[in-house]
Amino acid sequence: MNVFTAINATVRYLVVTVILFITVLMILRLIVNYKDMNPFGAFPRNVKRFSDPLVDPVRRWLMFRGFNPKIAPLITLLVIILAGWLALSLVWAILFTANGVFISIKTGMIVSLIGCLLYGFLSVYSLLILIRIVLSWMMVYGNRWTRFVTNATEPILGPFRRLIPPFGGFDFSPVIVMLIIQFFQSAVLGTLIPNAAMFAI
C-alpha cells in the first residue's frame, strides 16, 4: 500500500464516519420533529442543538418555497450524502493525479504526465465548484476565500447560469458543469492516460 492509497483509505473512513454520525443525528431529529416532544426536555434540546447548524439553512429554504419544514432533516441527510460522495470522488481524483504524476516522472512517460496534470486541473476545478456550492448553501459571503472561489468559478458558471436559469430557486449550473468536467476527465483518461490502471490507488 503506497502513501496515496493510505491517504485515500483514511479520508474515506473519515467521510463515512461523518456521514454515519449525521445519519443518526438526522434520524433522531426526525423523531423529535414528528413526535412533537417537549422542546425543553434534555433529549430534544440536545438533538436540536447539534443538528441546527446543518438543518437550519435547509429549513429556511423549504419554508421560503412553501414546503413542510419538518422534512428538513431528511433533505439535509440526502445533501450530506451527496456532498460526501462528491468529496470522495474528488479526493480520489486528486490522489490519482498525484500518483500518476509521480509514476510518469519516474518512468519518463511524458504523454501520461501531461494527461495526469490536465486530469488534476479538472479535479481541482471541480473541487472549487463543490466548495462554492457548500459556501452558498451555508450562506457564507464576503470573505477573502469566498471571493477567490467565486472569481475562479464564475467565468465557467456564469454562461451556464444564463443558459440554464435557476429552477425553483435552485441553481443547477454547478451540477451541470461538474458533470461536463467528469465527461472531459473520462476523455483525458481514454486518450492521454491509456495506462491509467498502473496509476490506480
Q: 114-143, pLDDT tens digit by residue? A: 999 999 899 889 888 888 887 776 666 667
pLDDT, tens only, 89-121: 878 888 888 888 888 888 888 888 999 999 989
With a pLDDT cut of 70, the percent of the chain lying above it is: 90
What type of residue sits at position 57?
A: P
Pick from 72, 77, 71, 68: nearest CA to 57? 72
pLDDT at 12: 92
* pLDDT, tens only, 142-186: 678 888 888 899 999 888 888 877 766 677 788 889 889 989 988
pLDDT band at 83 (very low <50, low <70, confident <90, very high): confident
